[in-house]
Structures are given as C-alpha cells and as structure tokens.
Structure 1
Amino acid sequence: MKSYEFASLLCSRLCHDLLSPVGALNNGIELLSDEHDPDMRARCLDLLAESARASANKLKFFRLAFGAAGGFADEVDTREARVAIEGLFGTDGRIQLGWMVDDPTMSKAALKVLLNLALIAGDALVRGGRLDVGSERHGKGIDIVVRAEGSRIVLDPELKQVLVGNISEEAIAPRAAAAWLVHCLAADGGGEVQVMDEEPGVLLLGAALPA
C-alpha cells in the first residue's frame, strides 16, 4: 500500500473517532446559547467539559499511536503510553486497566504496536470489562501482549485478517487502519502478530518483535 493511501485510511479513521466528542461540543454550545435556566446551563457546561476532555484524550493518544510524538530519540518513555491508554479508556469506569510493562523505555515501533493493539482490544470491549497490557524482553527483542476480558467482545473479522496479514491491501477499510499499521510495523521488523479469540469473553492480541 502506498503511503498516501494509508494516510487516507488513517485520516478517515481519525475523523470518525473524533466526530462524536467534537459533535457533542458543538451541540453543547448551541444548547448553552439558548438555555437560561441556571441548572440546565450548569449541566451543559459539564457536558462541554466532558466532551472537551474526551477530544483531548483521543488527540493525545492518536499523536502517540500514529504520529511522531516522542521526539527524535530512538526510545520513548513507556509512561507516555500508559497515560495515553488511561486517558482513552480509563476515565469513565467502563474498562479496568492493568499495566504490566516493566521497561522504562521502548522503541517507537514497539510502542506504536502496543498502543494500537490496546486500541483494537479496548474497542472490542463493547460493554466494558478489563484491559491488560504487558510486554516482556527476550534478548534484544520484545513480546507485547494485550488481553481484553468482558461480557461481550466484538472483534471485526476484517481487523483479525489484517492483523495477521490475510487480506489484500486493496480491500482494507479505514476502520482497519490501526490493524494495518500493527501488521506493517511487525512485518518490517521480521516479527509476527497473533490473534486468539476462541475463548468466550476473552481476546488476546500479541506481537513478537525481534531486535
């Protein structure tokens, strides 16, 4: 896939994800301009604050997961990834987060794999649940595992096929942009991605990244 084609997929995905909180901001401002009851105005302000917070958290996550965040260094502080995941999934109490990453830093490629696997697994928890993120070094390589557990898990079959590379590039839709990035980063480094969803209520996403 050409870089401009992937950029188009990614832009479509980002616009889709930001449409809801930004739209809520617009609706809240319209309601606030027509509302004169003090209690209702206070409620509108709460909704505006919540939507602004959600928009900011998504932008921070996307900047790290898809962009050039982390500066020019080869390694990125893993605490940034933890903060980004907590901001995206841990603010409303629907998803309980577990963090099992001991390394203080991680390569940019590995960090993007971790973040995007967490994004895919977190989105699959449609009714909430638990999201555990872990990594383990082996020599100069690293294994990344993300485990989602909940009463209802929905993983788009296309995402599964894209993650493991069983789909043509021309057939990839914008919703699979994160999965395609994970696949490409792993494949470019000689690694592989695994998806295990046979157990009801449990989804395991893993990536083995050599040195």
Structure 2
Amino acid sequence: MTDRQATDLAAMLCSRLCHDMLSPVGAMSNGLELLAMETDAEMRKNVMQLLEQSASISTNKLKFFRLAFGAAGGFGDHVDVEEPKALIAALVADKNGVTINWALADRTLGKPAIKVLLNFAQIAIDAVVRGGTLDIGAERRDGACEIVVRAAGPRIAFDDTIGHALDGSLDPAELSSRTAAAHMIALLAAENGGGLQYAKTGDTLVLGAILPEGEGLIG
C-alpha cells in the first residue's frame, strides 16, 4: 500500500466513524436544546431518557470502533473474547428483531482475528435490515484462526462493492466510507498470510476468514 492509499483509507475510516456517530450525537444535541426550553416535568423526564439512550449508543459505538479500527485491547497479542462479544451485543441491542448465536471456542483471540470478527459482525448487522439471526463463530485449528459470521433474515442488504473489498477485487476508485472497513480487514488478513471470503443468497450472508497464527503477526 502506498502512502497515499494509506492516507485515503484512514480518511475513509474516519468518515465511516463520523457517519455512524452523527445520529446519536445529533440526538443528544437536540435533546439538550429541548431540555433547555421544556418546563413540563414529564416531558423533561422523557428528554432525559432520550439523552441517556443516545449517550449509551454513542459510548458503545466508540468502544466498538476503538477495537475494530484502532489499537485497543491492551498490550498483549491476544484479547479476551468477552470484550468483542459485549461490544457486538451492545450494537445488536439497538436493532429490533436481531438475535445472536455464539460459537467461540477459545477464551482469547489474536488482535487481527478480533478486528476481523468485529468488522464481520458490523457488516452482518447492517445486512439484516428487517431483523434476523447472526451466527458468530471462531476457533483455532491447525495453527490458524477460522472465523465465520452468518447473517440470516427475510431480506439481506449487502452491497457488492463490500464483497469486492473483502475478496481484494475492489477497484481503488470505489474505495469509500462504506467499503473502507472491509478493505482494511482484507489488507490485515493478507498481511498476516490469510484471506477472506463471502457468499450471499436472498436471505443469507456468510462471511469467512482464515488467519494463520504465529510470531510477528500484525495487529
């Protein structure tokens, strides 16, 4: 990756973060304006509930992106799986009619695997626009970490350009805030000697990754 490409990717990831944060932060701003004008006790109580909800959503999203895009997770090479589980569960809690089935065989996963798992989960959550089920699994086997995230629902929303970003066939001109996260984990997988793949039908999206584990892997 050239310096220019790295700069563009960083900019697109920042745009994605800002896009996702705009709604809850905007809701807090609106809530504060209403609180300053409202005198009715019951209405002020409702506004406070809105502010608390928006603050919680904002916090959860920031924690998610810090680990999914950034260098969070402590100083070790591995992260306890309970941390990404809690972050994904918090995102799903804001969606109606979405349930998660977990199949995480190990207590910890390497940082590259954690980033792939989180970004796969985000793609899957975005895909089940009318509710559905997420099956999220990961296990170490034969010196590699295998990750599978399956989204199933009555209507799967999945942009083909995200698929192209995942499999490495994305035209650089199509890099955008929508495809940046998928492109990032594709680069991460390649740098660690692994790869990503996906399959989609009308009501199912399956995302898979194999990441070799060993010394010197990039996290």
TM-score, scaled to structure 1: 0.95
Structure 1's 91 and 12: CA in aligned 2 closer, same or farther, altered over 3 A? closer
How far is 1:90 from its partner?
A: 2.6
3-state SS of 2:99 partner: strand
- Any gaps of 5 or more consecutive residues in structure 1? none
Q: How does 1:121-140 map to 2 (within 5 A)?
A: 121-140=124-143
Equivalent residue number for residue 211 of structure 2: 209
SS of equivalent to 2:129: coil
Number of the residue aligned with 2:11: 8
Matched, 1:83 2:51: no
Q: Secondary structure at the match of 1:196?
A: strand
Distance in 2 between the 1:53 and 1:77 partners?
Answer: 22
Instruction: Give the Cα separation in 1 of the matches to 2:94 and 2:14.
Output: 25
* Alpha-carbon distance, 1:25 to partner: 0.4
Q: Deviation at 1:169?
A: 2.5
Let me know the Cα RMSD of the aligned residues: 1.3
Whole-angstrom distance in 1 between the partners of 2:96 and 2:131: 8
The alignment covers a number of residue pairs equal to 210
* Residues 23-172 of structure 1: pairs in structure 2 closer than 5 A: 23-172=26-175
Q: How far apart in 2 are the matches of 1:138 and 1:208?
A: 10
Letter in 2 for 1:51: S
Which SS does the other structure have where 1:135 is aligned? strand
- Specify the SS of the correspondent of 1:17: helix
1:17 equivalenced with 2:20 (yes/no): yes
- In 2: Cα distance, 1:103 partner to 1:203 partner: 24
Cα distance in 2 between the residues matched to 1:106 and 1:4:
28
Q: 1:121-141 deviations in whole A, cap 9, x for unaligned?
A: 111111121111101221210
The match for 1:173 is 176
Shift of 1:92: 4.8
Contact 2:124 2:134 in 1 (8 A): yes
- Aligned 8 A contact 1:77 1:104 in 2: yes
Runs (4 or more) in structure 1 with deviation over 2 Å come to: 90-94, 168-171
